[in-house]
């Protein structure tokens, strides 16, 4: 009947106006999986991240998102800081003035 066909046409037109949803798997694959930590340390400091010496420059360490422990060792003194890294973001830890 005509009323049913008109309703079906209106429903189709309304559906056609809806935004196309992205495939959630494709969307997740395009999201960054790592974050970055920039460390500014005193010249003579030994730096450890999560109890290991970082491989690569301190200016841009690639880390998994989450909490990380950064330790600066200056002679006999140890200074420990916690940082939280978020995927796709850079966190800066500036401790150049530690003694």
Tell me how many domains the chain contains: 1
Residue 25 is part of which domain span? 2-94
CATH number at residue 9: 2.60.40
- Residue 73 included in any domain: yes
pTM above threshold 0.75: no
Give residue 19's pLDDT. 60
Residue 15 CA, chain-centre distance (Å), reads 35
Closest CA to 48 of 75, 76, 81: 81
What is the C-alpha separation between 5 and 17, in angstroms, rounded?
A: 19
- Residue 99 included in any domain: no
C-alpha neighbours within 13 Å on the C-beta side of residue 68: 28
What phi and psi, each to the nearest 5 degrees, are found at residue 47? Answer: -115, 135
* Tens digits of residue pLDDT in 12-64: 766 666 565 666 666 555 567 999 999 999 888 999 999 999 877 788 899 99
CB atoms within 10 A of CB 58: 16
């Amino acid at each position: 009947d005509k009323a049913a066909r008109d309703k079906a046409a209106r429903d189709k037109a309304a559906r056609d106006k809806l935004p196309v949803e992205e495939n959630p798997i494709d969307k997740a694959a395009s999201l960054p999986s790592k974050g970055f930590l920039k460390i500014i340390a005193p010249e003579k400091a030994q730096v450890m991240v999560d109890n290991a010496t970082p491989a690569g420059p301190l200016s841009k360490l690639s880390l998994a998102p989450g909490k990380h422990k950064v330790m600066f060792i200056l002679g006999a003194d140890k200074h420990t800081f916690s940082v939280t890294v978020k995927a796709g973001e850079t966190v800066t830890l500036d401790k150049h003035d530690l003694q």
